[in-house]
Structure 1
């Protein structure tokens, strides 16, 4: 028993020593107390803004801030405060700095008067966090660099520094804006330059109707051979974005019968078809779905029926909701008994092999019910 007591005492003492050697926080204390202490001690303020449900926040709290090196750095330079910004005094702090707190955790560096100097977002190792804070203390803050950017500085070394800080602060919209503006100064084939690709590659593959997206599709081999991309991951992303574009055409066609809109949709279909003929993973499925949407937009029921039958027979059955909706449309508009019966067979087959989620199953059930109702009225 005595040995157990000694072991427990040693563990308790070790934990207490570890906690005391780490970062010392004013934990959810009134904000005015923090400001007054900072002014009295002539220190800057370091604020950890967190929430109770944030995993990275807990990681910072339990693995990073308690470390001796982190404590030595922060305790000597700052009055440290932490706030759950969803309750108590944290609500006041969160509201005051709501434009800066966009993700969790966000760490703010403030003057003793509460003016923002710098911010760092996300959980990161001790050395990396200290380096990110030091950048701000040396004047390399997103606020200072934004002023310089707005004055027209477009030197590559400056742009790199600014983008790195925007990434550190998780300012995604501003990062994309600056990256796109910088890349737009060069011809589209500059995407084959590693520096340009590194800053804008992840954005240009999200916009299927842009010239950059088309360039990427037409130069996958070049991007791959230069080692700029993981070809498999790139093709998966291109296919995903194409799928969204094709689906958006279908959704818009459901909402309007305006001739101008339908003409615009047909132009988009013609454009996407040229891209979807490229040998990219997943493109054949999107091309098949595009052909269905085209028939529906043209209100060519027989063509839609024939295309859907062929595509199902060929195994293009990936998008359950789209197929269910196409079958419902056919059930409502077909007049041929044999075709209606075939739609029922297809719906039952797809229901059996599709996702078992309720709305998918209900979609096929509705198509079957509509077709049976139509057949019943024809007896």
Structure 2
């Protein structure tokens, strides 16, 4: 009798556990998965609902995160389940392939989330991982007629009040249309007094879009970074990150050692005024890497003047001081450039010695040597008259380069 009672209680417990787990699983969005599109459209017409479609692939990380963390949430299910026919399609198989071709102009990446009417017209487009509230807001706005495409038409007709711009930028961001966000934001910024950025609601919408180092708005943020922090109580870490990215990208452009399609070096960018402007920005906003940037610009001036021995002296000094941007990878780039431009044997020997020093670390856990350095060593040895060694190093480079290319091809085949 006792055993029967224990068995009965166990069955009741397991049944309750199963029911609880099932209830948890049913709280999120209930999807029709990879069913025939024809049947989905018929169901949408029968129930007089719009179609919410999750376009995914099996290899997409953000797709898996949405499916794991967002779609199962109760509040998400409560919004979507009564209102829409919810469907998921793998874009690489079955009807998913057909739907990808049908809607590919709206699918800029994965995941893409589409709201579609019963006639197959796309009403809303969102892309990338979406937080639950943002997802609900984006689809709710579309259901109310404030979809991305309707807002776009209103924008084309000249609507420019802040409330509208805020909604339009939010919709563009949800669709991951970064270039359009930038264009709309820049246009609006050009129409207002920059003092408007002192208002918190304006800053929240437009502040993060200000990334053009040559724009008046960027200059305004740089000049007012301290005031934004101490008077307006804005997050200085976020402001610095926003400013540093574009500034350091512009610094990289100014000092880049670029090649043409034939592998020949292009003329160096010669814009001292822009260099001084970037240094001023870094100093005025108290950003990181002022000394490193100043050193890079000084070396760049020496390279423009063709003073390669002096440039090499400062490059090695910066490397010895451990400055950011003067690691073995960066020195290899400088050496490759100067070895192509200079026949100074003393300089060539010094640069070759540095590469040979890096080669000693080839088998270390954190090597400073890269196989690309074999190619540069070959060029230098050729100029120094060491023809046989130059040929051996060129062969070594070609062998390793072919091996790396093959490894990359195999990787992309697997993934």
1:187-226 residue CA offsets vs partner (Å, 9 max, x unmatched):
5555445444333333333x33444444433333233234
Q: 1:74 aligns with which of 46, 70, 80?
A: 80
* 1:148-167 matches, cutoff 5 A: 148-167=154-173
User: Is contact 1:236–1:281 with CA below 8 Å preserved after alignment?
Assistant: no
Q: 5+ unaligned residues in a row in structure 1: which ranges?
A: none
* 1:215-294 matches, cutoff 5 A: 215-227=220-232, 229-251=234-256, 253-255=258-260, 265-267=269-271, 269-277=272-280, 278=283, 279-294=286-301
Tell me the TM-score normalised to structure 2 length: 0.74
RMSD over aligned CA atoms reads 3.6
Q: Distance in 2 between matches of 1:349 and 1:227?
A: 52
* 1:55-204 matches, cutoff 5 A: 55-66=61-72, 70-121=76-127, 122-125=129-132, 129-188=135-194, 190-204=196-210
User: Is contact 2:359–2:368 with CA below 8 Å preserved after alignment?
Assistant: no
Q: CA deviation at 1:137?
A: 1.7
Q: Distance in 2 between matches of 1:66 and 1:139?
A: 26
Which has the higher mean CA deviation after the structures are superposed, 215-224 or 352-361? Answer: 352-361
Higher relative contact order (CA 8 A, sep 6+): 1
Matched, 1:361 2:370: yes
Which has the higher mean CA deviation after the structures are superposed, 364-373 or 224-233? Answer: 364-373
Q: Could you say if the C-alpha distance between residues 30 and 299 of structure 1 is closer, same or farther in structure 2, counting changes exceeding 3 Å? A: same
Matched, 1:30 2:36: yes
Q: Distance in 1 between matches of 2:383 and 2:273?
A: 34
1:202-256 residue CA offsets vs partner (Å, 9 max, x unmatched):
3333x33444444433333233234465334443554443333333334355447
Matched, 1:323 2:344: no
Q: Distance in 1 between matches of 2:123 and 2:360?
A: 59
Q: Could you say if the C-alpha distance between residues 187 and 361 of structure 1 is closer, same or farther in structure 2, counting changes exceeding 3 Å? A: same
Hey, what does 1:15 align to over in structure 2? 21
Matched, 1:335 2:382: no
Tell me the TM-score normalised to structure 1 length: 0.80
1:104-136 residue CA offsets vs partner (Å, 9 max, x unmatched):
4333222211122234443333x6544443222
User: Is contact 2:247–2:278 with CA below 8 Å preserved after alignment?
Assistant: no
Q: CA deviation at 1:41?
A: 2.5
Q: CA deviation at 1:164?
A: 2.4
Q: Could you say if the C-alpha distance between residues 66 and 201 of structure 1 is closer, same or farther in structure 2, counting changes exceeding 3 Å? A: closer
Q: Distance in 1 between matches of 2:360 and 2:243?
A: 29
SS in 2 for 1:361: coil
Q: Distance in 1 between matches of 2:357 and 2:233?
A: 43
Q: Could you say if the C-alpha distance between residues 75 and 171 of structure 1 is closer, same or farther in structure 2, counting changes exceeding 3 Å? A: same
Matched, 1:50 2:53: no
Q: Distance in 2 between matches of 1:72 and 1:219?
A: 45
Q: 5+ unaligned residues in a row in structure 2: which ranges?
A: 1-5, 387-415
SS in 1 for 2:123: strand
